[in-house]
């Protein structure tokens, strides 16, 4: 007999709600109301631009038609990749989180139609997959390395939970029927093979949390424990590509397909959060260090190889060939969020911030309707256009995993800003809005961060718990005042403000700073990156004097950058780098004459936030700037 569909603890509407006590707890997304600012404006663009665009493309790309043809309502051939169903599920999840927070009447006809079709297509035993019920009918679960069947199911489950939080459970009923089939087929005593693309693990843990049915969590744990014994085989890219090369408990280096690795680690962290004796913590800490101290781009991008969309060797971080897939940056945010809940360390929120303002934000155009799939840190003059590494954002891709993934993240972003514990509330990411911090108290945040340094919080009643404020690791010279009185000197980590406060003001300097890479990062040797607060900047061809080739531009060894006003077209502050020069390029590819050629004076060059490049032209760009 099936247990209750919804557990007593399912009222917390967030994408990840640990079942056991943890260092940090998320707060319900409905307790947060964003009021403009970088994140709030982006969420509005997501609702007004990205979600409607995804809905339109679900139709024009054939994703919905793939379902209609199975019930005799379309005679079109199957279109898209074999995992196209997952794009529909992510779009539904995005709308679901919007529905949790407010009215989505304009999207309901699409939602109704999609759920009607999914229910009509689903087989009596619960199976649901338009590819394996269509072009590959009769071949279900025969190609787990490449078939993505449980990856798709994971996204269905996550969409269903989002909608169930809004009070609508018809999609959850569909998802539960399919999950029961997976229990029968792959649970204890069933098949011992695993899906080639992790994702279902984190979805099953959240399903267990939502329904109170521990079997789902145990199934996720079984799937994790079966990984690493090379049952999938080598395939085209090797066992590491499928995350089936080393048992999770023994893994110490991030390898293989970046998105697969990070989705798996999100699920493993969910298990560590929920299972008292899970035993994954040593591996999680080692892998976090591997990713963030050896394999992370300065922008928060991940994946340095186009082949296999994969991590490279330690310090292998080429700027121009960075794959840095949008979905990998999103997956890393999901993983760091769970690590933050696990032990509360500020470094995890620092990485959420880095990725959000750089590697994730760069993927989307100003209107939210065009996207990058990969996000290099350099684009050369005359770059040859490729679909997965274009010179401009595209409105869609054959493999369209990234746009709806962005949509579901931004629609649920309220859940990733503030946490709480029994005796404290922690402000992790600063953005204007109102936050219900418990005990009937609302905190109002006023700020233009990350563009300006000041963050002001006022409470409509004196706080009853400690409030904690993340001080980013990059920040220098931070000051904090409580009820108008300057607090003690502040260092990176968390600043505690005792209960009883009525207002808190933070000053987090965002002056421009140049950074260099570790000397083993050959792709950035002799070059500098420019950061302003958490935002990294770049040079773009559109800002250079006419006739100047970006590859010839060099900046001083000890450069200075100053504020250069606001670019109203891009909606961001720009910076000016003084004393740039044009380095004369030799005629030969490999000249033997080592004499330095004379440089020409360019003067000041303009730098813009990396996340805004390619909104004006399709020209060259670079984050790492060579020095004289």
- What is the tens place of the pLDDT at every residue in 302-357? 999 999 999 999 999 999 999 999 999 999 999 999 999 999 999 999 999 999 99
Residue 2 is predicted with a pLDDT of 38
CATH number assigned to the domain covering 419-507: 2.60.40
SS3 306: coil
Per the listing, tokens 């090369």 go with: 245
pLDDT in tens, 595-624: 777 788 999 999 999 999 999 988 999 999
SS3 506: strand
A 10 A CB-CB count for 430 gives: 25
CA dist., res. 507 & res. 475, Å (int): 10
> Is the pLDDT reported for residue 424 higher than 70?
yes
User: Domains of the chain: which residue ranges?
Assistant: 25-416, 419-507, 513-626
76 phi, psi to nearest 5 deg: -75, 150
305 phi, psi to nearest 5 deg: -125, 130
Residue 372 is predicted with a pLDDT of 95
Q: What is the DSSP string of 186-236?
A: HSTTS-----SS--HHHHHHHHHHHH--HHHHHHHHHHHHHTTS--S--TT
Containing H/E element for 32?
strand 32-34
The pTM of the full predicted model, rounded to 2 decimals, is 0.97
Task: Please give the mean pLDDT across all residues of the chain.
Answer: 95
A 10 A CB-CB count for 109 gives: 10
Per the listing, tokens 């005629």 go with: 587
> Is the pLDDT reported for residue 79 higher than 80?
yes
CATH number assigned to the domain covering 25-416: 1.50.10
Q: What is the DSSP string of 527-586?
A: EEEEEETTEEEEEEGGGSPTT--GGGEEB-SS--EEEEEEETTTTEEEEEEEEEEEEPPP
Across 276-297, average pLDDT: 97
Containing H/E element for 496?
strand 493-497
pLDDT in tens, 571-604: 999 999 999 999 888 888 998 887 777 788 999 9
The residues near 224 (Cβ < 8 Å, ≥ 6 apart) are: 201, 248, 264, 267, 268, 271
617 phi, psi to nearest 5 deg: -135, 175
CA dist., res. 326 & res. 314, Å (int): 21
Residue 1 is predicted with a pLDDT of 27
Across 526-530, average pLDDT: 97
CA dist., res. 50 & res. 98, Å (int): 13
138 phi, psi to nearest 5 deg: 85, 0
CA dist., res. 389 & res. 386, Å (int): 5
Residue 8 is predicted with a pLDDT of 42
Residue 146 is predicted with a pLDDT of 94
> Is the pLDDT reported for residue 26 higher than 50?
yes
Angle at which helices 200-211 and 149-165 cross, to 10°: 30
CA dist., res. 458 & res. 446, Å (int): 8
The residues near 477 (Cβ < 8 Å, ≥ 6 apart) are: 509
CA dist., res. 149 & res. 24, Å (int): 33
The lowest-confidence range among 1-10, 40-49, 365-374 is 1-10
Residue 594 is predicted with a pLDDT of 74
Residue 450 preceded by cis peptide, ω within 30: yes
Per the listing, tokens 């990984």 go with: 227
Q: What percent of the chain has pLDDT over 70?
A: 98
Maximum pairwise Cα distance, the chain = 82
Residue 5 is predicted with a pLDDT of 60
Beta bridge partners of 530: 514, 537
């Amino acid at each position: 007999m099936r247990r209750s569909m919804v557990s007593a603890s399912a009222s917390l509407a967030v994408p990840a709600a640990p079942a056991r006590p943890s260092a940090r707890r998320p707060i319900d997304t409905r307790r947060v109301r964003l009021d403009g600012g970088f994140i709030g404006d982006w969420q509005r663009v997501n609702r007004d631009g990205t979600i409607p665009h995804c809905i339109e493309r679900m139709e024009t790309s054939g994703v919905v038609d793939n379902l209609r043809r199975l019930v005799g309502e379309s005679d079109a051939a199957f279109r898209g990749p074999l995992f196209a169903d997952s794009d529909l599920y992510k779009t539904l999840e995005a709308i679901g989180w919007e529905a949790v927070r407010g009215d989505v009447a304009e999207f309901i006809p699409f939602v109704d139609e999609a759920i009607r079709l999914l229910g009509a297509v689903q087989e009596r035993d619960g199976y649901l997959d338009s590819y394996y019920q269509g072009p590959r009918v009769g071949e279900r679960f025969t190609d787990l390395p490449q078939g993505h069947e449980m990856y798709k199911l994971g996204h269905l489950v996550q969409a269903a939970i989002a909608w169930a939080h809004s009070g609508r459970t018809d999609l959850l009923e569909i998802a539960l029927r399919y999950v029961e089939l997976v229990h029968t087929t792959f649970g204890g005593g069933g098949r011992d093979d695993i899906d080639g693309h992790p994702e279902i693990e984190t979805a099953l843990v959240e399903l267990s949390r939502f329904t109170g049915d521990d079997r789902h969590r145990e199934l996720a744990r079984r799937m994790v424990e079966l990984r690493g014994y090379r049952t999938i085989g080598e395939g085209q890219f090797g066992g590491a590509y499928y995350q089936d090369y080393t048992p999770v408990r023994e893994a110490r280096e991030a390898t293989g397909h970046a998105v697969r690795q990070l989705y798996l680690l999100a699920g493993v962290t969910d298990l560590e959060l929920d299972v008292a004796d899970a035993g994954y913590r040593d591996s999680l800490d080692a892998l976090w260090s591997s990713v963030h101290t050896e394999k992370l781009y300065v922008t928060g991008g991940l994946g340095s190889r186009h082949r296999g969309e994969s991590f490279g060797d330690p310090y292998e971080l080429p700027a121009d060939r960075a794959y840095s897939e949008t979905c990998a940056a999103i997956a890393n945010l999901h993983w760091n969020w769970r690590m933050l809940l696990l032990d509360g360390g500020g470094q995890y929120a620092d990485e959420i911030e880095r990725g959000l303002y750089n590697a994730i934000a760069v993927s989307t155009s100003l209107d939210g309707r065009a996207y990058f799939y990969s996000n290099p840190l350099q684009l050369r003059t005359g770059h040859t256009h490729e679909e997965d590494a274009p010179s401009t954002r595209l409105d869609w891709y054959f493999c369209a995993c990234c746009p709806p993934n962005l949509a579901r993240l931004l629609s649920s972003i309220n859940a990733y800003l503030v946490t709480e514990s029994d005796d404290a509330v922690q402000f992790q990411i600063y953005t204007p809005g109102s936050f219900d911090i418990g005990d009937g108290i609302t905190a109002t945040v006023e700020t233009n961060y990350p563009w300006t340094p000041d963050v002001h919080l006022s409470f409509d009643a004196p706080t009853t718990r400690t409030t904690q404020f993340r001080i980013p690791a990059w920040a220098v010279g931070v000051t904090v005042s409580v009820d108008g009185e300057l607090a003690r000197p502040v260092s990176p980590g968390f600043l505690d403000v005792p209960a009883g406060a009525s207002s808190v003001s933070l000053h987090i300097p965002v002056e421009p700073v140049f950074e260099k890479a570790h000397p083993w990062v050959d792709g950035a040797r002799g070059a500098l990156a420019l950061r302003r607060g958490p935002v990294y900047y770049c040079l773009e061809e559109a800002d250079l004097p006419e006739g100047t080739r970006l590859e010839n531009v060099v900046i001083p060894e000890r450069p200075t950058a100053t504020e250069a006003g606001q670019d109203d077209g891009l909606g961001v502050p720009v910076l000016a780098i003084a004393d740039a020069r044009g380095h004369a390029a030799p005629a030969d590819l490999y000249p033997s004459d080592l004499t330095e050629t004379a440089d020409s004076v360019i003067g000041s060059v303009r730098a813009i936030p990396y996340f805004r490049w390619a909104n004006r032209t399709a020209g060259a760009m670079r984050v790492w700037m060579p020095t004289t």
